[in-house]
Structure 1
Amino acid sequence: MHVLVIGGGISGLAAAHQLLADGARVTVLEAGAVLGGKLRAGSIAGAAAVDLGAESLLARRPEAVELARAVGLGERLAPPSVAGGALWTRGAVRPMPKGHVMGVPGDPAAVEGVVSPEGLARIEEDERLPRTEVGEDVSVGDYVAGRLGREVVDRLVEPLLGGVYAGDAYRISLRAAVPQLYEAARDERSLLAGVRALQRRAAAAPARTGPVFMGIEGGVGRLPGAVADACTAKGADIRRSTPVRELRRTAGEDGARDWIAVTDHATVRGDAVVVAVPAPAAARLLGPHAPAAAAGLDQVAYASMALVTLAFRRADCGGLPDGSGFLVPPVDGRAIKAATFSTRKWGWVAEQDPGLFVLRTSLGRHGEERVLERDDAELVELSLADLRAATGLRARPVDTLVTRWRGGLPQYPVGHLERVSQIKDAVARVPGLAVAGAVYEGVGIPACVAAGRRAARHLVQHPANPADPTVPQAGETGEREQRREP
């Protein structure tokens, strides 16, 4: 079976890797000159390696770590050097409160200092309020604010959710984004009681060993290249700078239905196809074949953001607060939404240049795309001004690098899971078609790897053109191969 994988992000590459393991022949068609999607490596200050996109893998979910090991990066996996984040709020950088689930505490005392005395009193009302019926779905912000007050959402939930989705807690689906809280809301009358029940179950479960997160020496941005190299070694044809303009399906000479990817310079035929591109591009390609899926994908919104990477002389950064960085609640009105002290967080960053201190900030979220219209120098100055206000850092960087991610993160609004279910159902009715990406199963790297694997396995288990011993297969004669790759 020859499978076309449209999209060379980590979902598409994971699908290709799985397909090759299952014996398929694979052609990957990537529109850009660089593979990896939102995983990208770069350098600053001459030669210092940095991540310009995602920087860590959730190790408690195994798919991404498994893939890294499978492509030879196992020895380069490394946990963060320091743990524990902070919040810059109410005029100070404060340690992140302990004992919370996505910012929702089980004990009001845990959030003293972040939440005002009035806010703490409002949290305590939760245990006297009647049950809140959440139905099929509700936004995280509306449910939590209704139980504990807006301060918990604005000061705690928003910055944590913003770090994952760059979105608005009052729009993001509780069921999709924080499913454990959704189940607690259905099981318990009180949200505080629900969080405590989750904490008791976690304490009673078998102890998990190993770090929660892992990085890769040289950057998580190395992962796509390693996967691509492994795929190429197994015979995959990976074509960069090859945008697919149209996806067709036609009957072949042997009666089988072929998929045809139309690019700027050629048409590429295959028995099946994985569409692993963002929702707008997927909707355009799927429209003629799965119109209901295309309609659902057309409704998916995306957030854009910018990462500002700054390199300082390490001697100038002695006054930075402890920890790996801090999050910033939008309610405080700052330009940046987070700062990561990369040199402190990742040992490999510190070791590559002992005289350098690298940190990065992020700006922008859903509905705030105008910030990306500022030029690079303005984004750097906004970041420096906020870093100075938060930490007292007054040094000028020796180098800067701005990376814009336009349409970088799909949003998971109320009803997202139902929409995705309908999209998947529509796609599943088309033989030889599968989809993968951050839209469907989660925005994290492990979820994207899982989506790619799931798509690959579906096509292997449900081939559109089952092998017929009377029909020559690719490799038996050159005739079929030539027809598929004119």
Structure 2
Amino acid sequence: MTGRPPRVVVVGGGITGLVAAFRLRQRWGPEADITIVEESMRLGGTLRTVTLAGGPFDVGAEAFIGRRPEVPALMDELGLSAQLVHPAGLRPLIFSGERLHPLPARTLMGIPADAASVDGLVDAQSLATIAGEGDTELSWDRTSDLSVAELVGSRFGAQVLARSVDPLLGGVYSGLSDSIGVRAALPTLAAALDAGASSLSAAVASVLPAPSSAPVFGALRDGYRTLIYALVAAAAPRTLLGTAVTSVRRENSGWVVDSIGQFDAVVLAVPAPALASILGSVVPDAAAAAAEIELASSVVVAMAFDTAVDLPDNSGVLVATDAGLSAKAFTLSSKKWSHIAERGISLVRASLARFGDTGPLAWSDEQLVEAAVRDLHRVTGMDSAPSSSFVQRWHGGLPQYAPGHVDRVAAIEAAVRDVDGLAVAGAWSHGVGVPACVASATRAATRIVEVAR
């Protein structure tokens, strides 16, 4: 790249790819030739804002962890600080046993620190099992990993999984406790167990975060599209939509990307299966590890109710996996967010399908709306029909952090580390949330710039 502006291609136009392109533009200035290649016909990936009932509404990720700094810092860089909003402070509920229950306190991803945490949510036998868990010898292997279901189910029983743990894991990963590993999803818990915690209860209690008045979540007043538009404007890339990348290869000290052209460097900000396909011949060790990461699909049904409806005064409802509903959760958006409540209508998001459950994705839009309304009525008693709706299918939207995920990610990163001019990033690596993707993109861009020096 000596003596001329660098040419870089970012494969993947989701939030990770857009942030990577923005970071490269920041470091290299207006002369750099930055191209984004995106397989679909739009940018943003699993961030999507649509117009519903006359206003913006997110039908992908709707919020980010507010206690992480990455997104507020990025918004500040882009001049979007005035867009930052926080929830109204209402608590979510869990629907189980045909009743609504408060979300248990003193839990870590739904894993209770003591029996009192889930009193009323699980039966007396389960409560006794939790209370006596400390008297049972804990077998934990510091050298291996296991699923959350294996650990928690063996110590606390099936009801804790179905009614407390799985609803939360479904919200984060669109998965279940048997598809998610302890070390990747719950690293602080794994560290406490590695350090010799005497029981699961003791381990959970030792890593519970200190009480804080700081908002847990944040969002953008006008939806994530505001962030997407700002990133595209600031990164100013050449954009190729509807273009799939199937391979890259080294040639003449650079990289040839399919038939798109030759570049000095490549950032692959794509889902793990696509990463495996692209790297198959050039970095086979990374490809093999990436191929082991599976994806979950889901559906969001967004609904607007123009008439006054009787919704719980809560931020949302998580659904126990033994409740027999199609929906796994409802976000009561006009309750959760004050800026949405200002619109004077009721807005609700229903989420359906988890890892391995592809049935709802094959339903028609009408069937999905009917299922969402039917389940909402069962959960809340509300019997109104929506005045408008929007259905969003997310095929392969979230990676599953299965047992051994930490080792797979380490293998991918180690294999790519020795290849000049190549960086990888995405939700498959160090967290599925938007802040983690921003951090992943920043690391990838930094690597490209440093190697180019």
TM-score by length of 2: 0.94
The answer to which of 93-102 and 241-250 deviates more is 241-250
The answer to which of 174-183 and 64-73 deviates more is 64-73
Aligned to 2:152: 144
Q: CA deviation at 1:276?
A: 0.6
SS at match of 1:244: coil
Q: Is the 8 A contact 2:35 2:240 kept in 1?
A: yes
Aligned to 1:469: none
Aligned to 1:211: 215
Q: CA deviation at 1:327?
A: 0.3
Q: Give a deviation string over 1:73-129, Cα, whole Å, max 9, x none.
A: 111100012331110111111111111111122221121110111110111121101
The answer to which of 98-107 and 366-375 deviates more is 98-107
Q: CA deviation at 1:48?
A: 2.1
In 2, Cα distance between the equivalents of 1:194 and 1:298?
Answer: 33
1:67 maps onto 2:58 in alignment: no
Structure 2: unaligned runs, 5 residues or longer: 1-5
Would the alpha carbon gap of residues 387 and 209 (structure 1) be closer, same or farther in structure 2, given more than 3 Å must change?
closer
1:454 maps onto 2:447 in alignment: no
In 2, Cα distance between the equivalents of 1:258 and 1:335?
Answer: 50
Structure 1: unaligned runs, 5 residues or longer: 252-256, 467-486
Aligned to 2:37: 29
1:155 to 160, 163, 183: 163
2:257 to 242, 255, 261: 261
SS at match of 1:122: helix
In 1, Cα distance between the equivalents of 2:12 and 2:366?
Answer: 32
Q: Is the 8 A contact 2:169 2:175 kept in 1?
A: yes
Aligned to 1:396: 385
Amino acid in structure 1 at the alignment position of 2:41: A
Q: CA deviation at 1:453?
A: 0.6
2:357 to 368, 376, 381: 368
In 2, Cα distance between the equivalents of 1:219 and 1:436?
Answer: 24
The answer to which of 209-218 and 376-385 deviates more is 209-218
Aligned pairs for 1:92-171 within 5 A: 92-135=99-142, 136-171=144-179
Amino acid in structure 2 at the alignment position of 1:332: A
1:289 to 276, 282, 297: 282
The answer to which of 79-88 and 396-405 deviates more is 79-88
Aligned to 1:470: none
Q: Give a deviation string over 1:285-343, Cα, whole Å, max 9, x none.
A: 1112101111222222111100001111241x1x2112111100112221000001111
Aligned to 2:61: 54
SS at match of 2:125: helix
Aligned to 2:206: 197
Tell which structure's C-alpha radius of gyration is larger: 1
Amino acid in structure 1 at the alignment position of 2:229: G
Q: Is the 8 A contact 2:313 2:335 kept in 1?
A: no
Aligned to 1:239: 240
In 2, Cα distance between the equivalents of 1:416 and 1:170?
Answer: 13
Q: Give a deviation string over 1:16-40, Cα, whole Å, max 9, x none.
A: 1111122162221222221110000
Q: Is the 8 A contact 2:14 2:44 kept in 1?
A: yes
Q: Give a deviation string over 1:262-282, Cα, whole Å, max 9, x none.
A: 34xxx3322110001112222
Q: CA deviation at 1:208?
A: 5.6
Aligned to 1:384: 373
Q: Is the 8 A contact 2:273 2:294 kept in 1?
A: no
In 2, Cα distance between the equivalents of 1:361 and 1:18?
Answer: 35
In 2, Cα distance between the equivalents of 1:112 and 1:221?
Answer: 41
TM-score by length of 1: 0.88
Aligned to 1:278: 271
Q: Is the 8 A contact 1:57 1:65 kept in 2?
A: no
In 1, Cα distance between the equivalents of 2:42 and 2:339?
Answer: 24
Amino acid in structure 2 at the alignment position of 1:27: T
1:179 maps onto 2:187 in alignment: yes
Q: Is the 8 A contact 1:52 1:221 kept in 2?
A: no
Aligned to 2:96: 89
Aligned to 2:419: 430
Q: Is the 8 A contact 1:35 1:225 kept in 2?
A: no
In 2, Cα distance between the equivalents of 1:109 and 1:280?
Answer: 42
Q: Is the 8 A contact 1:289 1:430 kept in 2?
A: no
Q: Is the 8 A contact 1:218 1:348 kept in 2?
A: no
Aligned to 2:346: 357
Aligned to 1:328: 319
In 2, Cα distance between the equivalents of 1:126 and 1:350?
Answer: 44
Equivalent residue pairs, number: 443
1:188 to 191, 194, 197: 197
Q: CA deviation at 1:209?
A: 6.2
1:3 maps onto 2:13 in alignment: no
Q: CA deviation at 1:240?
A: 2.8
Amino acid in structure 2 at the alignment position of 1:228: V
Aligned to 2:303: 310
In 1, Cα distance between the equivalents of 2:312 and 2:161?
Answer: 25
Report the aligned-residue RMSD: 1.5
SS at match of 1:365: coil
In 1, Cα distance between the equivalents of 2:59 and 2:205?
Answer: 37
In 2, Cα distance between the equivalents of 1:181 and 1:260?
Answer: 43
In 1, Cα distance between the equivalents of 2:179 and 2:258?
Answer: 37
The answer to which of 182-191 and 328-337 deviates more is 182-191
Q: CA deviation at 1:221?
A: 3.5
